[in-house]
Amino acid sequence: MLDYQAPLRDMQFILEELADLERIGELPGCEDASPDLVSAVLEEAGKFAAGVLAPLNPVGDRQGCRLEGERVVTPEGWQAAYDRFREAGWIGLSLPPEHGGQGLPKLVSTPVWEMWFSANMAFAMLPQLNVGQTEALMIAASEAQKATWLDKIVSGEWAATMNLTEPQAGSDLAATRMRAEPEPEPEPEPEPDGAYRLFGQKIFISYGEHELTPNIVHLVLARLPDAPPGVKGLSLFLVPKYLLDERGEPGPRNDIRCIAIEHKMGIHGSPTCTLSYGDDGGALGYLVGEPHQGLATMFVMMNEARFNVGIQGVALGERAYQAALAYARERVQGRDIVSGEVGLPILAHPDVKRMLVSMRARLMAMRGLLYSAAGWFDLARHHPEAEAADKYRRYVDLLMPVAKGWCTEVGNDLCDEAIQVFGGMGFVEETGVAQLFRDARVITIYEGTTGIQANDLLGRKILREDAATLRELIADIRQTAGRLDGHEHLGDLAQPLHDLATLLDESADWLLAHKADTAELYAGAVPLLHLLGIACGAWQMARLALAAEARRAAGDGDPDYLTGLSELARFYLTTQAPQAHSHAHTLRYAGAVLSRFSEKGL
C-alpha cells in the first residue's frame, strides 16, 4: 500500500502567499476563515485522508463494485468510511449555513478536496457530487424545493448525481432524447406542482446506484413535449430514487433502475451506472427552474465538477510524486556516474533526480494556479466592489478550461513519470503506483475532454470577447515579471516570464487576425490550452519564488525549504516554460497543414 501524507506545508504556503488567504478572510461572509481555523481544518482533513481513506484505496481497486440484480454493492469499508465522513461534516465545508453547511470559502475547501482525491479518488467522487448539486439547486430551485431537499444533500444524508450522457448523446447534449411528460394527477405534498414522468436512459452516471445512503437525488436533463430542438430544448428535473412520504422521508421506490455498471480501466471503487427511467409508467421528477433552461443550470454543476477534476490532476500527481520519491530514496541500484560509488539509492542518478524535481515543480505550478482560482471564485462571489468581482469572475471563466484540461493532462504525465521512476516495479500492480496511472487516465476525459476544454477556451472565452480578459491576465503576468527585473536573487527569471507574456500577446493577435479561418484555429486549440497552462504555471511559480525570497530575507521560516521553492521556480522556468514556444508554433502552423490533409492519407 502506498502511504499518503498531506503536503500541509506546501498547501499553507500557497494559501497564504499566492491565493492571499488573509484577503479572502476579510471578505463579507468569509470572516470565519481565520488562519488558525484553516490550519486546524487542514490538519484534521490530513489525518482523515491518511488514516481512513488512503488505506481503502487499494481495497476499492481490487474489489471494485458489482451489480446484484438492481443492487450495486460497493467495496468493503466504503459504508463505514462514508458514515464517518458525513458525520464529521466534511461535505458541507463550503456550503450554505442556512442548509447546514459551514459556509467557509472555496479557497479553504480546495486543499481539503485535494486531500480526499489524493487519498482515495474513487471514494471522493461520491461526496463531490453533493457539492455541485447544492450549487445548482441554490441558483435554480424553488424555495419549496430547497426546503425539501437541500438540508439532506448538504449534510450528505442523501447522495446526489448528475445525469447528462445518453448512449447516442455523449458530449453532444443536443442529441439528448430523455423525455419528460407532465404528470396528469397532482402529487401529494411536498411537491404538489411541476411533477413530470421521465422516460429514457442515462449512461456513465457516477454513483448512480448504491446503498450508502437512504436516498439518491438525481438531477436529470430531459425534453418537455414542446421543447425546441438542440440544447435550447433541455430542461432540468430533480428525480429521487425514493419518493418522499408525508413526513418528507424516503417512501416508495421511484421508476428508476440500474441496468448495468461499467467495467473500467480505473476508479474501480466508484460505480459508473447505466440508469433506465420509466420502464414501469415513468419516473416521477420535478422541474427545477424554468422550462428549456436546464443546461444553463446544469453548467453550474458541471463547472464545479470541472474545477474539482482539475484538483484531481494535482491530487493524483501528488500521490504519485510521494510514491516515486519514497521509492527513489530506498531503491539501491547502479553506480554513481561521477564517483563510481555503489550501494546508493537511485535518487543519486541525475535522470531520476530530474524526473522528481520536474514532478514537484509541475505540482506546485498546478497547485498555485488552482488555489489562486479558488480565491478568485471567492472574490467573484463576495467582493463588495462590482468591478473587482467582475474581473475575478472573468478570470475564473477564462481559466476554467485550463484548470480542468491542462491540470489533468499534467496529472496524467506525473503518474506516468512515477512509473518510470519505479522502473519495472512500476508496471507491477502490487507496488500501487499502477493504480494511480489507471485512475488518472479518465480525468482528461470525463466532464469534457481536453479537446472540448480547448474549444471552449478558444471560442467562448477568447474569440467571443476579442481576448479582452486574456489581455488583462497578460498584464498581470507582466507585472509579476516586472517585480523580478533587477531582483538580487531572482533577476534571471524575469526575461523568461516577459517572453511568455509576449508569446501570449502575439498568439492572441494571431488568433484575432485569423478569426475567419475556423478549421485552422480549432486544429490548434489544444496547443493553445497547453500554451496558456504553461504560461500561467510559470506566472504562479514566479510569484512563489518572490514570496519565498521575501520570507527568507525576513528570516521567516525554514531557509532550506524557502530556497528549495525558489529553485523549483527556476527549474520550471528553464525547463517547462520553453515548451510553451513549441505549442505557440503548433498553434500557428499545424492547422493549415491539417486543413489540407486528406482523410485518404490516414
Residues labelled catalytic: 447
Q: Is the peptide bond before 250 cis (omega within 30 degrees of 0)?
A: no
Which residue, among 9, 37, 6, 59, has the nearest Cα to 560 in the 3D structure?
Answer: 9
Vertex 445, ends 301 and 533: CA angle to 5°? 85
Backbone φ and ψ for 265, nearest 5 degrees, come out as -70, -35
Query: 238: helix, coil or strand?
Result: strand
Cell numbers placing 157: 444524508
Cell numbers placing 34: 481565520
Other beta carbons within 10 angstroms of residue 596's beta carbon come to 9
Q: Give the integer Cα–Cα distance in Å for 271 and 197.
A: 25
Vertex 377, ends 373 and 383: CA angle to 5°? 125
Q: Give the integer Cα–Cα distance in Å for 458 and 512.
A: 10
Which string of DSSP letters, residue by residue, matches 490-552? TGGGHHHHHHHHHHHHHHHHHHHHTTT-HHHHHHTHHHHHHHHHHHHHHHHHHHHHHHHHHHH
Q: Is 89 left (phi over 0), alpha (psi -120 to 50) or beta?
A: left
Q: 307 vs 96, 303, 478, CA distance in Å?
A: 19, 6, 26
- Is residue 26 within 8 Å of 91, Cβ to Cβ? no
Which residue, among 24, 113, 109, 19, has the nearest Cα to 368 in the 3D structure?
Answer: 19
CA 576 to chain centre: 22
Vertex 550, ends 544 and 556: CA angle to 5°? 105
Q: Which residue, chain included where needed, has cell 441558483?
A: 139
CA 315 to chain centre: 9
- Is residue 268 within 8 Å of 63, Cβ to Cβ? yes
- Is residue 421 within 8 Å of 355, Cβ to Cβ? yes
Exposed/middle/buried for 221, CB within 10 Å: 0-12, 13-18, 19+?
Answer: buried
E-only strand ranges, 129-255: 159-163, 179-182, 195-206, 216-223, 234-240, 242-244, 250-253
Q: Is 281 left (phi over 0), alpha (psi -120 to 50) or beta?
A: left
